[in-house]
């Protein structure tokens, strides 16, 4: 793996040896305070991002936008074979290229702000390194393209730290809208009859999480039918269509052609339709939402367990 990080990752960053990171950070903060003559910005958390260089760039951009509203110390790490690689440093951000996996936990432990919460945003890399940094995280946010290996590991972290997957945040509108429909008397009366779920999804792992959530929420037996179909989409939503069926009633959620909202219908009746905004699926909004959460999410943990065991047709 390359030990170089593109400078667009941290525009205007200073390149320094690993051992000089903290000293350089202190000088940059002091210089910035003298230039602006304003009080130092209060930091609220450390966000550690681990992943391939290409995936670090989009994460750095999202956190830079977030940092304008609420201060975080950002640590961006790509993996390689270097025990003490060169780093890029700005006033509140650090990028480390090509760090050997066995040293990642030491780097995080020394650079995080120990008095503030630490969120680890895992965008891919050595599973052994994930094992090491999970214990340093107050919140662990998984965000990998193929999540099965990290999902399996996550089960072992649940008692140590609050764990989630960024896909769970992307499903918030879908879960909330379906849950609200169960407030309707006609839907409540039909709960026991629901036994079939079909999902069209641009992101199949997200569909598995949604199915796992519904399966555990409704306490479905394994004999109930769950079908997931991969479809092409524009990336604005992980799911395209969800249909929950029973002998008495059918509920359908889908993204219409406008791509701006989420539509739900019950039994095909217009009078029982619901429409909500699709929401902001940008990385900045999603990771900002995660920074506001401190406790374990038991609904996610149950959904994750079911999603891992889910056999879909």
Quick check: is 131 in a domain?
A: yes
Do residues 43 and 129 both lie within one domain? yes
Do residues 195 and 94 both lie within one domain? no
pLDDT of residue 11: 81
Count: domains in the chain: 2
Do residues 71 and 27 both lie within one domain? yes
Do residues 194 and 265 both lie within one domain? yes
pLDDT tens-digit map of 59-115: 998 988 876 555 788 999 999 898 888 899 988 899 998 899 999 999 999 999 888
H-helix or E-strand spanning residue 172: helix 172-181
* Listed residues 137, 159, 193: the one ending a domain: 137
Quick check: is 212 in a domain?
A: yes
Do residues 121 and 186 both lie within one domain? no
What is the DSSP code (8-state) at residue 219?
T
- Give the CA dihedral 258, 278, 121, 11, nearest 10 degrees: 50
- C-alpha 215/C-alpha 148 separation (Å) is 19
Instruction: Supply the pTM of this predicted model.
Output: 0.91
Quick check: is 157 in a domain?
A: no
pLDDT tens-digit map of 254-310: 999 888 999 999 986 655 789 999 988 899 999 999 988 889 999 999 999 999 988
- Give the CA dihedral 230, 232, 233, 237, nearest 10 degrees: 10
Do residues 12 and 119 both lie within one domain? yes
How many other CB atoms are found less than 10 A from the CB of residue 158? Answer: 16
Percent of the chain with pLDDT over 70: 91
Quick check: is 289 in a domain?
A: no
Do residues 113 and 15 both lie within one domain? yes
Q: Which residues contact 43 (CB under 8 A, 6 or more apart)?
A: 71, 72, 73, 92, 113, 116
Q: Radius of gyration (Cα) for the chain, nearest Å?
A: 22
Do residues 131 and 198 both lie within one domain? no
Do residues 90 and 202 both lie within one domain? no
> Is it the case that residue 1 has pLDDT exceeding 50?
no
Quick check: is 159 in a domain?
A: no
Tell me which residue range forms the domain holding 57: 7-137
Give the angle 31-32-36 at the CA atoms, nearest 5°.
Answer: 120
Rounded to whole angstroms, what are the CA distances from 102 to 16, 17, 96, 127?
Answer: 21, 18, 14, 11
pLDDT tens-digit map of 158-180: 988 999 999 999 999 999 999 99
User: Collapsing DSSP states into helix, strand and coil, what is residue 80?
Assistant: strand
């Amino acid at each position: 793996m390359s030990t170089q990080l593109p400078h667009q990752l941290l525009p205007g960053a200073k390149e320094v040896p690993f051992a000089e990171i903290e000293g350089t950070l202190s000088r940059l903060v002091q210089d910035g305070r003298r230039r602006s003559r304003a009080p130092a910005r209060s930091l609220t958390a450390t966000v550690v991002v681990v992943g391939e260089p290409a995936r670090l760039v989009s994460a750095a951009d999202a956190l830079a936008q977030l940092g304008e509203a609420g201060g975080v110390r950002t640590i961006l790490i790509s993996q390689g074979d270097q025990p003490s690689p060169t780093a890029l440093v700005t006033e509140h951000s650090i990028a480390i290229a090509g760090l050997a996996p066995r040293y990642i936990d030491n780097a995080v432990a020394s650079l995080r702000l120990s008095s503030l919460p630490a969120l680890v945003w895992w965008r891919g890399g050595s599973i052994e390194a994930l094992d090491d940094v999970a214990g340093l995280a107050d919140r662990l946010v998984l965000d990998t393209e193929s999540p099965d290996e990290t999902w399996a590991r996550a089960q072992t972290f649940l008692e140590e730290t609050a764990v989630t997957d960024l896909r769970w945040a992307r499903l918030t509108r879908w879960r909330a809208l379906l849950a609200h429909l169960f407030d309707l008397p006609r839907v409540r009366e039909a709960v026991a009859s629901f036994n079939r779920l079909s999902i069209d999804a641009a992101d199949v792992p997200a569909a598995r999480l949604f199915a796992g959530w519904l399966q555990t929420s409704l306490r479905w037996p394994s004999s109930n039918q769950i079908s997931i179909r991969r479809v092409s989409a524009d990336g604005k939503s992980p799911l395209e269509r969800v249909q929950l069926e029973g002998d008495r009633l059918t509920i359908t959620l889908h993204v219409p052609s406008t791509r701006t909202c989420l539509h739900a219908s019950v039994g095909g009746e217009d009078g029982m339709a619901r429409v909500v905004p699709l929401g902001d699926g940008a990385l900045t909004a999603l990771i900002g939402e995660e920074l506001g959460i401190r406790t374990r999410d038991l609904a996610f943990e149950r959904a994750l367990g079911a999603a891992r065991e889910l056999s879909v047709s």
